[in-house]
Amino acid sequence: MFSVRQKREIAEKVEAILRETGHPELPPPVDGIKFLLRVEGAESWSWAEIRDNKSVTNPGVNPHNEKQDQR
């Protein structure tokens, strides 16, 4: 559903939003926040799982998703 670049950008923004809460139970910034976000698309076959960037060191590439990214 999203390109690798888009997933990485989304993950950065999600972590920033979580950091902004200042919640005392979050790990220190150097460790990063582990999370998994599932996005449901308009169709049952359209979905994406976005994990924190530190957890994804070698992302799989879906050529269809990469083609849809216009940047």
52 in a domain, yes or no? Answer: yes
32 in a domain, yes or no? Answer: yes
Query: Residues 27-59: pLDDT tens digits?
Result: 999 999 999 999 999 999 999 999 999 999 889
**DSSP string of 6-69?**
HHHHHHHHHHHHHHHTT-TTSPPTTT----EEEEE-SSTT-EEEEE-GGG-SS----HHHHHH-
11 in a domain, yes or no? Answer: yes
What range defines the domain where residue 15 resides? 4-57
**Overall domain count for the chain:** 1
63 in a domain, yes or no? Answer: no
66 in a domain, yes or no? Answer: no
Structure tokens at 2: 């999203």
Helices (H) and strands (E) in the chain, counts: 2, 2
pLDDT for residue 55: 93
9 in a domain, yes or no? Answer: yes
